[in-house]
Structure 1
Amino acid sequence: MSHQLRRLLAFPLLAIAGFIGLNMYWRYQRDELWGHAPLFLYLFVYAAVLLLLTLRPDGSVRPNNLLSVLSGVLLGLGFPGYLPFPFALLIAFVPLLVLHTRLRDTGAGYGRMFWHGFSAFLLYNVLATYWVTNTSLAAGLFAILVNSLLMTLPWLAFHWTSRKSPRVAYLALGAFWISFEHLHYNWSLNWPWLTLGNGFAQFPALIQWYELTGALGGTVWILGANYLAFRWYQSTERRGRPLLALGLVVLLPMAFSLLRYATYRPAGDAGTISVAAIQPNFEPHYEKFADDDSAQLDTFLNLSRAALAVGPVDYLLYPETSFARVEENRPLSNPSIRGLFEALSGQPARYLVTGFDGYYIFAAGEPVTEAVRYFDRADGSILALEALNATLQIDLATGEYQTYRKGVFVPGAESFPFKSVFFFLEDWVNSLGGTVAGRGTQSRRLPLVGEKAKVAPVICYESVFGDYFTDYIREGAQAIFVMTNDGWWDKTAGHRQHLWFSSLRAIETRRAVVRSANTGISSFTDQRGHISSQTRYDEATFLRGEMALNNAITLYVRFGDVVARIALLLAAMLLLGNLTRSISPDAFSRKKA
């Protein structure tokens, strides 16, 4: 098959991708969301490029490329959102490991290893997180491309180890990958969404042991199963001990989990609280931040009254950033907050918990934070303030209030990564109407304290961070309130994945979770991670439920990500060993007798 014919085969795919891109632009001009269109755009471009690179000049297929594609497909389809079959993750790395063995044995260099790893991880990111593009095309492309590149780093480190220390190469893959996932929780460009252990979030009955290890324990399990499946595939007769080991590694944790799921009971009797989660359903791109405040206030009041007409509750829960321009130290000075308080006082609800978009004004002489923003006042003085994504709890009986500030921010949208490095971009960003200041935060994950309970006020992206999440529990939280706005991603896999991640946090901490999501899905999740009730996406409604409180501390909460600390230590030792062997190849060689 000639090169020209290959180009002709790829052209229809690129033409279709171009048509999809034009359709997306047309929909953008009409203030319409893209839904699944970015997925098809990316897949057609990927397929066209792959076609050009997979066919040899003689028309035959390069099998190595197909192996990397197969790994990408298994990773992408195994992650929650498409098929309810996360077991694909247990073998998803096998094609890549087979490919690595072939390339290593032929002396392939790092360039080819990079290409095949990047190809697999790019497809994984496209299939699992294409929906990010609904926030903006630039954000989607950046998230997919950069995360794919970052995933190739542990892959290349594994290849380096296989050349320098082949006996521990597969141990190194696990150590490097888990270290990568851990670091992805803890730096300015954090994006731990695709942590492998998150892949079983849709099936909480199978992962009850996350109360011991957290989601990174799931990553260990998945990588271990992949290694044993690879060993079985590589074995001559493909039976016997490797298959038995694979079966035990896969089935024993699930058997323990099913038993734990069936027999779990909350420790002690900490009581219960009743909650009504309000789902107002304001479209965030073109409606929520443009609508008249009074119209949105009416929606909240009508849904709240409908929920309270069913019966009294301890808490009314509203979504993230439900109200804007709220001064943290004087929330009742905001007309909407004041109107809510006056309308709901005397109603059968004790507390209102709501997310708000607000600010804090620094007093003259008060130390400022890194998030400070300066504005000129009319009288010539300087106003110093910090913007907040925060939560407010109001006692509807007394008017007393507490606030909480979000602590983990979405890179780009809420924070400027590596601000100290790219400080020279500040004037340019400001000229575009943005800011590098970010948002104000607080150092401790303090719960909101009420008469009957201490609840963790978790805001959107914070619910993705397992180890961070445990700080709420150490501070005394007995239940978890998640306030979020998942409408940015349209009706795609994104909002469902975010919903299922709450099951992970429930298992890790053994705390019941209630979600109030602007456009859905709002839900109640019990301490086993089981979603007991939920709303539909894209409807204005409310959801009532009872939440069992818990004071017990799980091993994961007590000790944190021990798995990550072990992996980091192993990775550091392996990298040091590789570096030593590279500098002095004879340092570890055995002396001849």
Structure 2
Amino acid sequence: MEVSPSGAGSARVVGAACALAATTAALWAFSLLQAPWTSLGWVALVPWLASVDQVRTSRGALVLGGVLSATFTAVVFSWFPRALHSYSGAPVWLCWTMLLLTAPVFQLQFPVTALARHLARRAVGTKVAWLPPVASVLVFVGVEWLAPKPFADTLGQGLVYSERLRQGADLAGAPGLTLALLLVNECLLAAVVAFRTRGSVLALRRLVAAAGIVSALVGYGAVRLHEVRAATRAEPLLVVGAVQANITNYEKLKAERGAYEVVRLVLDTHYALSDGLLREAPLDVLVWPETVYPTPFGVPKSEAGAELDAEISGYVSARAVPLIFGSYDVEGGREFNAAMFLSPSAREGGAPERAVYRKSKLFPLTEWVPEALDSEHLRAWLPWTGRWSPGPGPRTVVLRRGDGRLLRVAPLICYDSIFPSYVAEEVRQDADLLLTLSNDSWFSGTRGPGLHLTHAIFRSIETRRPQVRVTNSGVSALIDASGGILTDIGDDQRGTRVMRVPSATVRPSLALQWGNWLGPVALLLAVLLLGGAALGGRGTRL
């Protein structure tokens, strides 16, 4: 990347720019999650990696990595500035500026990988040709685990709609698929280099290695897919009525109609849609989305609020069906984003039994501000910052079916679902089912709901548990233990679904037992390799 007055220096700059453009374009196409573009994930990084191998200084490597962070963010997350503008009211240009300035932080794997690759190559030269690419792969995966990522994105998520390839996620989650993608990219780059310098035989070996990685992943996926299908029973685990009313932008509606009228509209709509489901089929439970009841339930702030609480409880008792819905919970002056579980009383005429799950993983700033940053000045500057408190952590809730059978549910609210270890911890508490409530309405019309659904699919694969996902405006879905979407309600649509949750007992996965284990292991190995290379290089010079 170093600018030089010579023609060779200019050629390197042009070559680096072309490599960045090619890799960025390929990653953008890969992120569309549509065949045949998803096949580009196996080759997308080759131009950029080849360019990194040509840089002469650490600064040049960092620049190549930093620029790819920015271009990758700009094309893959181009929807986010518009969503942030819609939510906060901040100017679009400011939202874009914030996105691009933070790109090297939130996509730190690119600059750190480029630097590690350059340093490894400088330390060992051509004596240990395998070390720079192996170190690059390990650093990439390790840094993604270590560095902050608001959307927890990783390249392996691009394989989500490949039925066989995605099954490999039960070993090490989506990062395991990222590892496979990176290794294949390295093998293909090594094949190109070998063909140019050392002949076609060595290049063919590199191509065979790449094909072997893909074949192993496909073979493993076929075996696990067969196991899941063979273990699936005919009788459903649970019959769920899911309601997606597509009522959005509560704040705007409140300004136009008043707070009470908005809550009245929301409840009446959900009652009507739920009654339609109850006429359609016998249900074990009704599920409404996150924050559908936008006020504390059970701790009313007014007489009108108490009446609405009683009305919801009365609905559960009259219909004799459990109801799960998103609301707020209050304790000790703190407010929580919560999921309410209401079940008809076992005593005739008794009040419904209630259980509560409190969301633990809150989105920074919009839902929660760390105490170290919180101040009146910050809230005056960013009036849309949230005031919720995080819940106590992973827990399960017992749900009683209509036939009296008890099921243990792993509840998740929105952002909870993007943390693999959190979900695995809930499932290890003997959960039979993942139940996700979400409100993705401020992402509606963008690629945000699809990304959130991708996370949900991987959580089901990693834990080998079916999942009911109910959202305010989409995408609501029933996901089986293989990650297959059995039924869904699309983005920005109103609809209901009777979801017959499949029951399958599949042998436990490594991702369930160990959680998000690959990242720290990869980082440790990378440090050991790079440290050994640095010491070896110093010893040679001495």
Are the equivalent residues in 2 in contact too, given 1:232–1:242 (CA < 8 A)? yes
Change (3 A) 1:211 1:437: same
Which residue, 285, 297, 308 being the options, matches 1:315? 285
Which residue, 59, 68, 77 being the options, matches 2:29? 77
Equivalents in 1 of 2:10, 2:524: separation in Å? 48
Equivalents in 2 of 1:576, 1:554: separation in Å? 33
TM-aligned CA deviation for residue 327 of structure 1: 5.0
Matches within 5 A, 1:416-495: 416=369, 419-420=371-372, 422=373, 426-432=375-381, 434=383, 438-451=387-400, 452-495=406-449
| Counterpart for residue 297 of structure 1 | 267
What SS is found at the alignment partner of 1:313? coil
The yes-or-no answer on 1:517 pairing with 2:489 is no
Equivalents in 2 of 1:341, 1:116: separation in Å? 59
211-220 vs 80-89, which deviates more? 80-89
Equivalents in 2 of 1:434, 1:76: separation in Å? 34
TM-aligned CA deviation for residue 275 of structure 1: 0.4
TM-aligned CA deviation for residue 330 of structure 1: 7.0
Equivalents in 2 of 1:274, 1:454: separation in Å? 14
The yes-or-no answer on 1:544 pairing with 2:498 is yes
Change (3 A) 1:435 1:533: closer
Which residue, 202, 205, 211 being the options, matches 2:170? 211
Equivalents in 2 of 1:272, 1:550: separation in Å? 8
Which residue, 499, 511, 520 being the options, matches 1:565? 520
Change (3 A) 1:438 1:204: farther
| Counterpart for residue 141 of structure 2 | 178
Equivalents in 1 of 2:518, 2:19: separation in Å? 30
TM-aligned CA deviation for residue 285 of structure 1: 6.9
Unaligned runs of 5+ in 2: 1-6, 86-91, 346-350, 401-405
Matches within 5 A, 1:281-360: 281-284=246-249, 287=252, 292-326=262-296, 334-347=306-319, 349=321, 351-356=322-327, 358-360=328-330
Unaligned runs of 5+ in 1: 1-54, 363-384
Equivalents in 2 of 1:576, 1:58: separation in Å? 34
Are the equivalent residues in 1 in contact too, given 2:433–2:467 (CA < 8 A)? yes
| Counterpart for residue 237 of structure 2 | 272
Change (3 A) 1:562 1:201: same
Equivalents in 2 of 1:590, 1:536: separation in Å? 62
What SS is found at the alignment partner of 2:290? coil
Equivalent residue letter for 1:412: L
Change (3 A) 1:112 1:59: closer
| Counterpart for residue 64 of structure 1 | 16
Equivalents in 1 of 2:423, 2:116: separation in Å? 30
Equivalents in 2 of 1:400, 1:192: separation in Å? 36
The yes-or-no answer on 1:393 pairing with 2:341 is yes
| Counterpart for residue 188 of structure 2 | 229
What SS is found at the alignment partner of 2:527? helix
The yes-or-no answer on 1:505 pairing with 2:456 is no
TM-aligned CA deviation for residue 490 of structure 1: 2.8
TM-aligned CA deviation for residue 445 of structure 1: 1.1
What SS is found at the alignment partner of 1:475? coil
What SS is found at the alignment partner of 2:314? helix
What SS is found at the alignment partner of 1:208? helix
Change (3 A) 1:329 1:174: farther
Are the equivalent residues in 2 in contact too, given 1:130–1:144 (CA < 8 A)? no
Equivalents in 2 of 1:344, 1:485: separation in Å? 23
436-445 vs 127-136, which deviates more? 436-445
What SS is found at the alignment partner of 2:491? coil
Are the equivalent residues in 2 in contact too, given 1:80–1:201 (CA < 8 A)? no
Identity %: 23
TM-aligned CA deviation for residue 210 of structure 1: 1.5
Equivalent residue letter for 1:174: V
Which residue, 103, 119, 128 being the options, matches 1:160? 119
Equivalent residue letter for 1:393: F
| Counterpart for residue 348 of structure 2 | none
RMSD over aligned Cα, in angstroms? 3.0
User: Could you report, residue by residue, the CA deviation over 1:97-156 in whole angstroms, capped at 9, with x for unpaired residues?
Assistant: 1111222xxx2x233322322222322222222222212245554345423342323332
What SS is found at the alignment partner of 1:193? coil
Equivalent residue letter for 1:148: P
User: Could you report, residue by residue, the CA deviation over 1:229-277 in whole angstroms, capped at 9, with x for unpaired residues?
Assistant: 1111111245421111111111221132134324424759796110011
Equivalent residue letter for 1:258: A
Are the equivalent residues in 2 in contact too, given 1:217–1:563 (CA < 8 A)? yes
| Counterpart for residue 93 of structure 1 | 45
The yes-or-no answer on 1:254 pairing with 2:205 is no
Equivalents in 2 of 1:437, 1:251: separation in Å? 47
User: What is the TM-score when the length of structure 1 is the normalising length?
Assistant: 0.77
Equivalents in 1 of 2:294, 2:407: separation in Å? 27
User: Could you report, residue by residue, the CA deviation over 1:337-383 in whole angstroms, capped at 9, with x for unpaired residues?
Assistant: 4322212422252x111112x24231xxxxxxxxxxxxxxxxxxxxx
Change (3 A) 1:406 1:412: same
Equivalents in 1 of 2:39, 2:359: separation in Å? 34
The yes-or-no answer on 1:556 pairing with 2:511 is yes
Equivalents in 2 of 1:266, 1:147: separation in Å? 44
Change (3 A) 1:477 1:549: farther
| Counterpart for residue 415 of structure 1 | 368
What SS is found at the alignment partner of 2:53? helix
Are the equivalent residues in 2 in contact too, given 1:455–1:478 (CA < 8 A)? yes
The yes-or-no answer on 1:130 pairing with 2:78 is yes
Equivalents in 1 of 2:474, 2:232: separation in Å? 33
Are the equivalent residues in 1 in contact too, given 2:228–2:504 (CA < 8 A)? no
Change (3 A) 1:505 1:288: farther
Change (3 A) 1:336 1:114: farther
Equivalent residue letter for 2:41: L
| Counterpart for residue 9 of structure 1 | none
Equivalents in 1 of 2:192, 2:223: separation in Å? 31
Are the equivalent residues in 1 in contact too, given 2:291–2:326 (CA < 8 A)? yes
| Counterpart for residue 28 of structure 1 | none
Change (3 A) 1:340 1:139: farther
| Counterpart for residue 359 of structure 2 | 406
Are the equivalent residues in 2 in contact too, given 1:77–1:128 (CA < 8 A)? no
